[in-house]
Structure 1
């Protein structure tokens, strides 16, 4: 995998064992290696200068000042578009909602993310009863069904780590309604 990327990738495995990338880089893929190759290929194609070894120290400094690591010029419309449109929270929520939709066979009533309204991360103290690295509470505006019915969802996701990889799990999801007095998640 290319190092020093500005983008964090999330992978989801569907019921058929196929791998999906978030942000989307093609696929679905039959193996983790195929997904990795697609991500690598995307970034290698973006990178205009793969090897800077022939440049002087001053030229390398100028290059790093003008370009991001993926070869995109820092002060360009393209770079601004990338930075303005990439939202890792949205990508992980999209991956978790796709998994939820698949697990519950929602098909026509599948949730489709419209906007992350609020996000709050929590990091348990050392020695806490929580085994996760972090958990997050989100309010997410979604659409579902052929008539694009809008719902506000409360989502709790947990993040565990094995040292190299992080695993995100949807631990709670429920529709928030103005009639709810006491909200309990299923």
Structure 2
């Protein structure tokens, strides 16, 4: 599921450096300013329009949706893997991700918090439990510092019940009423301020190559 780039790494910066190198190895000549012999402005434009391997940053709406789902699933898979490692879970006690059900990003006090609902079960679930997935809530805090350094901190990872109804202004004020939060108010960090700050993400897409774009 993850590209093999070595490791383990001693810091987030070291891991990011290796990942950047992994992507750089796939860079094509037209995406290298010196090799392409283009201006800095032209290269900046190309960087906005193309991936390092030269692939155009545009896809169909359905492909964009599928890519977004895949990215969220890989993100949550990393959270589950991290939880298993932190709690020394192995063998039949390891949690396996099933489905990502809900996701939302909250901006509060100049920080971004990501809220997730997903289902998972242990490998060793017996026949009685095999038909029932456990529902989880996770919160991740974006600890961005400047333009270069970004750190993601898991501030909550816990099992919840379908009847749980912990209050979160961040999700409620933006219509995410189906997101299940822990009932304990101090279990998660973001979403406790009654403010409404729109989160806007613009994505270019077209149903056909060369078709119109929407934002």
Question: Do the structures match in fold with TM over 0.5?
Answer: yes
Segments of 5+ residues of structure 1 without an aligned counterpart are: 1-21, 127-132
- Give distance in 2, aligned partners of 1:159 and 1:111: 24
Does the 8 A contact of 2:165 with 2:183 survive in 1?
A: no
1:100 and 2:83 are equivalent in the alignment: yes
Q: CA RMSD in A?
A: 4.0
1:121 and 2:99 are equivalent in the alignment: no
Where 1:93 maps in the other structure, the secondary structure is helix
Where 2:108 maps in the other structure, the secondary structure is coil
- Give distance in 1, aligned partners of 2:75 and 2:165: 29
Segments of 5+ residues of structure 2 without an aligned counterpart are: 167-181, 188-215
Of 139, 153, 161, 1:169 maps to 153
- Give distance in 1, aligned partners of 2:106 and 2:16: 30
1:184 and 2:171 are equivalent in the alignment: no
Does the 8 A contact of 2:105 with 2:114 survive in 1?
A: yes
Aligned pairs, number? 153
- Aligned counterparts, 1:1-186, within 5 A: 23-32=2-11, 35-36=15-16, 38-49=18-29, 50-53=31-34, 54-55=36-37, 64=46, 68-74=50-56, 84-85=66-67, 87-107=70-90, 108-125=92-109, 133-147=111-125, 150-163=133-146, 164-178=148-162, 183-184=182-183
Aligned to 1:15: none
Q: TM-score, normalised by structure 2?
A: 0.52
TM-aligned CA distance change 1:184 to 1:106, over 3 Å: farther
Q: Flag the structure with more relative contact order, 1 or 2, with Cα contacts below 8 A and sequence separation at least 6.
A: 2
